[in-house]
């Protein structure tokens, strides 16, 4: 297991870029935060005009895929898209986050009517690939399931902060502690259905599995009434 506390990111030129050799390393989360703030001052037309970053560090000489991820290096991110906020975004986020250190920045589709933003958190230790799904599950549970479920992907990329045309642009930080990874994992146990389940239903998300079961029940009841 990796024990070195590194703060690194992998940079991608576009959403279609799968090369993983563009890596930036930082001595601290402070330095990573400085980069995010510097990027937020750059003017971009939209997402097609922006690069992407990922906390994932990959096996040498491989392309971007979940199978090639070694770890998340010192930070993680959660996308918040579909929530209703009363009052200031700053107050909402500070009330939401349980004492963790973070950088919050708006995404290209953020509007005044519907703020959309990304929360970047400092981690107390790197997260190895076989723990990432459990960690993301626990993190999202701790935040009240507000995160975009797509961000649980091991090799997830995020568009950089920028001053996007026609967007409600903002960036701010919160002081606090790095996320205690081990404590969070222990607080929110997780069962990897893809590994432990032996049936089709076991491998589905709970909501979808329930929908399939209910559909089967309805079909059986309908057929019974026709007899």
List, for residues 94-112, the tens digit of each pLDDT value.
999 989 999 999 999 999 9
CA angle at residue 179 from 118 to 77, to 5 degrees? 20
In the block, residue with structure tokens 């030129």: 13
More confident residue, 54 or 204: 54
Q: Are 22 and 12 in contact (CB under 8 A)?
A: yes
Range of weakest confidence among 81-90, 111-120, 176-185, 209-218 = 209-218
32-52 pLDDT tens trace: 999 999 999 999 999 999 999
124-183 pLDDT tens trace: 999 999 999 999 999 999 999 988 765 568 999 999 999 999 999 999 999 999 999 999
58-73 pLDDT tens trace: 999 999 999 999 999 9
Question: How confident is the model over 198-205, as a mean pLDDT?
Answer: 50
- Residue 213 is predicted with a pLDDT of 62
* Close Cβ partners of 16 (under 8 Å, ≥ 6 residues apart): none
How much is the pTM?
0.82
- Residue 196 is predicted with a pLDDT of 47
| Length of the chain, in residues | 227
127-128 vs 117-122, strand pairing mode:
unpaired
CA distance linking residue 20 with residue 223, whole number of Å: 54
Burial class of 81 by CB neighbour count within 10 A (0 to 12, 13 to 18, 19+): middle
pLDDT bucket at 6, cuts 50 / 70 / 90? confident
DSSP string covering the chain, please?
---S--EEEEEESSTT--B---EEEESSHHHHHHHHHHHHTSEESSGGG--EEESEEE-TT-BSSGGGEEEE-SEEEEEE-S----S-HHHHHHHHS-SB-EEEEE-TT--SSS--EEEEEEBSS-EEGGGHHHHHHHHHHHTTS-S-GGGGSTT--EEPP-EETTS---EEEE--BPB-HHHHHHHS----HHHH--STGGGS-HHHHHHHHHHHHHHHHHHHHT-
* Close Cβ partners of 194 (under 8 Å, ≥ 6 residues apart): 203
Mark 94-130 as b/e (b = at least 16 C-beta within 10 Å).
Answer: bebbeebbbbbbbbbebeeeebbbbbbbbbebbbebe
- Judge whether residue 198 has pLDDT over 90: no
Q: Are 58 and 39 in contact (CB under 8 A)?
A: no
- Residue 147 is predicted with a pLDDT of 82
Calculate the average pLDDT of the chain: 87
């Amino acid at each position: 297991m990796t024990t070195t506390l590194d703060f690194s990111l992998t940079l991608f030129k576009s959403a279609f870029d799968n090369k993983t050799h563009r890596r930036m390393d930082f001595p601290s989360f402070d330095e990573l935060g400085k980069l995010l703030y510097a990027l937020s001052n750059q003017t971009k037309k939209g997402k097609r005009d922006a690069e992407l970053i990922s906390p994932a560090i990959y096996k040498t000489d491989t392309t971007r895929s979940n199978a090639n991820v070694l770890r998340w290096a010192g930070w993680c991110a959660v996308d918040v898209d579909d929530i209703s906020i009363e009052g200031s975004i700053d107050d909402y986020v500070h009330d939401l986050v349980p004492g963790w250190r973070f950088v919050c920045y708006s995404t290209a589709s953020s509007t005044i009517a519907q703020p959309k933003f990304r929360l970047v958190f400092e981690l107390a230790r790197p997260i190895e690939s076989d723990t990432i799904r459990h960690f993301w599950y626990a993190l999202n549970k701790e935040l009240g399931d507000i995160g975009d479920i797509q961000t649980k992907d091991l090799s997830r990329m995020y568009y950089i902060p920028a001053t996007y045309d026609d967007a409600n642009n903002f960036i701010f930080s919160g002081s606090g502690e790095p996320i205690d990874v081990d404590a969070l994992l222990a607080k929110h146990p997780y069962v990897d259905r893809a590994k432990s389940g032996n049936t089709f239903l076991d491998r589905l998300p709970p909501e979808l599995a329930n929908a399939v079961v209910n559909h089967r029940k309805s079909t059986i009841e309908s057929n019974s009434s026709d007899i």
